Amino acid sequence: MNEVKQNAVSVCKVSFRALLDEYRLSLEAMNRSPKTISWYMEIIERYFGFLDSNSLLKPVNQLGTQELRAYILHLQKANRWANNPKIRISTGKLSPYSVQGHVRALKAFWGWLEREGYIGSNPLAKLPLPKVPEKPVYVLSSEQIKKLFSQINRLTPIGARYYAILLLLLDTGMRISELVSIRIQALDLQHDCVQVLGKGQKLRSVPMSKLTRKEINRYINHSRAQLYPIDSPYLFAKFDGTPISVNSVQQFLRRLAIEAGLDGIKCSPHVFRHSFATHSIANGANVFVLKEIMGHSSLNTTLKYTHLQPGDLQIQHAKFSPVATLDIIKTSQRLRSQ
């Protein structure tokens, strides 16, 4: 079988299309999302296009770090949206994060080529990723959260919908893509939880507070039917019964931040996810439990979402410090007096 694959690789340009088609099937078999698959395909095709236009295109078993380094230099000088026909004017250079994302995708593809036997060894395995600056992390304070919620009129149907949406985001830390896809049947209001479909098509049960459950129940009973057909399977839907868009929630949050006087403060669904994790840890949450709630496959990912302030660290340290709990000074004084 490996000999057949090596022969296929030795074919010139046509073989790349065959490889991409097989890689797509492999990603689909692994339950990767359509958006993720499209992202991989676009990046790999762009890489092969660069190689072709610069007379660097060779069979994949002859490509290695030299070609990829040339491509990295090209990306670092490239304009954003340069090859997008829908956008006429580019908006500056590609960010370091975008360049690193391209390299990650290509390294993953070459790893697949090795596992499938198309290449004997992976020349990109030890190639380090381009460094990126540390991203600024935004976490909403308790006061900022209160200001945001105070601007929503929950007595109107639309206000009740967004009030419930923001409570869910803050109370569960779920991804916005998970929230907009929630179906009515996924709610278990009796046990204060909701089932969401996360990355990799993984289903998990996410707990919610009684306050959030109460607001969702109120929204369903009093406001939902006024916004869209009652027979829509989605908890949050548009007038035609299809799921509410991610963009609509993002736009609402931007407007809400301005109305709340939080100009210059980044306010997005993902900021709510960071805020959930950070405030949960500050309130004593177990990081392993948090990992399951947030749907992370790695504990390291969960830790990246927690950004405790010095005051939070001091409070938590006072709770678990061996010195603070042993009362060593009084003990030593008593022993000296004996």
Which one from 214, 270, 304, 307 is the annotated catalytic residue?
270
Q: What share of the chain is helix, strand, coil (3-state, %, to 5)?
A: 60, 5, 35
Residue 24 known to be catalytic: no
For residue 253, give every residue at least 6 positions away whose Cβ sits within 8 Å of its Cβ, in sequence order, or none. 166, 267, 268, 269
Q: In what order do the strands lie in the sheet with 193-197?
A: 187-188, 193-197, 203-207
Give the DSSP letter of residue 129: P
Q: What kind and span of H or E run contains 165? A: helix 157-172
User: What is the DSSP track for 71-116?
Assistant: HHHHHHHPBTTTT-TT-SS--SBPPHHHHHHHHHHHHHHHHHHHHT
Which one from 5, 147, 273, 274 is the annotated catalytic residue?
273
Residue 46 known to be catalytic: no
**Cα–Cα separations (whole angstroms), residue 14 to 7, 107, 167, 215:** 13, 21, 52, 57
- CA atoms of 300 and 204, how far apart (whole Å): 19
Which one from 199, 214, 266, 307 is the annotated catalytic residue?
199
Whether 277 and 308 have beta carbons less than 8 Å apart is answered as no
Q: What kind and span of H or E run contains 335? A: helix 328-337
Pull the structure tokens for residue 30.
């692994």
Residue 175 known to be catalytic: yes
Which one from 102, 279, 291, 296 is the annotated catalytic residue?
296
Q: Where does residue 158 rank: exposed (0-12), middle (13-18), buried (19+ CB within 10 A)?
A: middle
Which one from 147, 175, 274, 279 is the annotated catalytic residue?
175
Pull the structure tokens for residue 157.
């149907």
Residue 305 known to be catalytic: yes
Active-site residues, by number, are 175, 199, 270, 273, 296, 305
